[in-house]
Amino acid sequence: MKQGYDFNSTFFKVVRVVPGLVTLLLLLAPVWATLIGKPEIVLYYVAFLSVYWFYKTIVTNIGNFVAFRRYKRAIALDWEGMLRRIDWSTLPHPEQLPPSLEQFNLVILIPFYKEPYAVLKETVESIKNSTYDIKRVSLVFGVEASAGESAENNAKQLLTEYSHLFQDMKYYIHPMGIEGEAVGIAGPNLSWASREYVKELLAEGKELKHYQVIKYDSDMQIHPKFLSNYVHTYLMTSDRYHSFFSPAIMLYSNNYWEVPVLMRVFTGVLTLALMSEWVVAKQSKQSFSCYGFNLQLLHDIDYFDPQIGVDDTGFYWRAFLALDGNFRGEEFYAPCYNDAVQAETYTKTHVVQYKVLRRWGWGAIVYPMTLQGISNNKKISAKKKVLSLAELFRVYNLYSTITFLLSFSIPLITLLNPDFGLSSSAHVLPRIISYLLTLSLIGLLPSRWILEALYGHPPKEKGILFFIWHYFEQVMLVVFSLTLGFFPYMQAQLELMFGKSMTFIVTPKVRKAGDNTN
């Protein structure tokens, strides 16, 4: 295998324990450090975490302001006009491109399950309303056979209503029960649909490198300039083959004001984190939710891995390993609009969110994948290997434990060792940590202004109390971090650690109008 990992190998079965084991060691640090008589280890680590948190607050604010300015510029520019004025002969790596823009093929790949037709229709309508010439756009739907006849009927109805508007529209039905595939996740669906589509293109003698693919979520809608901005970014990138392309501005505004506060706080912070990182941490960005790539690249890395329960970050690390570490992200700033998790009732919404985050938590499988892959690949530089491991630690260990350790580690050490409270470091460092965390909390205010500008004010029918409360609801981030932001990720890492099956329950969510999506 090009990626150098094998789920059935002894090596993989050993290293799959790494994410969960490291997380447990960090969480239990107050206990084991006290038992060995070195509680200062935890105190110094917590002090580092508080400094890191304060630092992240500062750079996140900087990143958000820069990204917001780029966003405003992106929705103001005439990208379609800029595309028409491009001198095709001056573009980098012309061998990767067709002879002209008119022959440039843009494919939107959309997997779906039991989404009602109304939701799928809104997604296609937003593409239809693009400033980009949709006669140069093809839509490819991956339909789950397990969703039954209604799902295929939805695909057929979409083709009947819209196929005359686009260059092409196709759908492929992903069969049930293929041995070795993860269940209840989009990856196998995406893999099947893209493979079948490529088979048809190759049979017709088409050049895959002339096709650019965007992976969509079925409930996603886009700004009218999204596609034009995307294509312009793709064409102007110097090494587009070794890149994926992602919107920096991902809003969850389809139902933002209808979901419970923890869902709203989470999606708001997610929006801010994504847009900021594209400015201040671009080199470490992984693919997430919506992203584009060259179809020849997808073919060369052997498509999405249907064995794993995560298609987004799995795609990034699969490409990174297959291309010997030569893979990176490029962003553009025209926004897309998504659904926050919402179910029929308040309680069920939180249950569904837990299940969704558990699925996301299974993204930790890229940790052992990458550990095995980079150990087998001598072409990846030592520097890239170290940076990759540091990034995996940051995402899957540091972030999943930071709030817990900041909140409970010092009280826990004091409970286990009352004499520790008499030491000078036990008095001074917690005070410094408290000051830094207070400053970090105050530091959220500038980003709150950005969030307000992106999502607007609450609807008037929400009332004056809701309007006042929404200015302060970011304090609930701590509650989210200690509950939904912790337990589902911990569960996923423990399941991976003990070799549990990567099987997931497809989790429904609804919009205000009552439409179910997945």
> 């917001």: which residue's tokens?
68
The number of residues in the chain equals 518
pTM: 0.92
Nearest alpha carbon to residue 265 among 58, 273, 289, 333 = 273
Alpha-carbon dihedral sign for residues 516, 506, 5, 303: negative
Nearest alpha carbon to residue 278 among 326, 240, 335 = 335
Alpha-carbon dihedral sign for residues 435, 437, 440, 444: negative
Q: What is the pLDDT of residue 507?
A: 57
Residue 168 backbone dihedrals phi, psi, to 5 degrees: -160, 150
Q: What is the pLDDT of residue 413?
A: 87
Alpha-carbon dihedral sign for residues 427, 432, 435, 437: negative
Residue 262 backbone dihedrals phi, psi, to 5 degrees: -65, -35
Domain of residue 93, CATH code: 3.90.550.10
Q: What's the domain count of the chain?
A: 1
Q: What is the pLDDT of residue 518?
A: 40
Per-residue pLDDT of the chain (518 residues; tens, 9 = 90+): 578 999 999 999 999 999 999 999 999 999 999 999 888 899 889 889 988 988 999 999 999 999 999 999 999 999 999 999 999 989 998 888 999 999 999 999 999 998 889 999 999 999 999 999 999 999 999 999 988 999 999 999 999 999 999 999 999 999 988 888 877 678 889 999 999 999 999 999 999 999 999 999 999 999 999 999 999 999 999 999 999 999 999 999 999 999 999 999 999 999 999 999 999 999 999 999 999 999 999 999 999 999 887 778 999 999 999 999 999 999 999 999 999 999 889 999 999 999 999 989 999 999 999 999 999 999 999 999 999 999 999 999 999 999 899 888 888 888 888 777 656 666 666 777 777 777 777 777 888 899 999 999 999 999 999 999 988 888 888 899 999 999 999 999 999 999 887 666 565 556 554 444 34
Q: What is the pLDDT of residue 509?
A: 53
Q: What is the pLDDT of residue 431?
A: 73
Q: Which residue range forms the structural domain that includes residue 23?
A: 1-518
Query: How many whole angstroms separate alpha carbon 23 and alpha carbon 405?
Result: 11
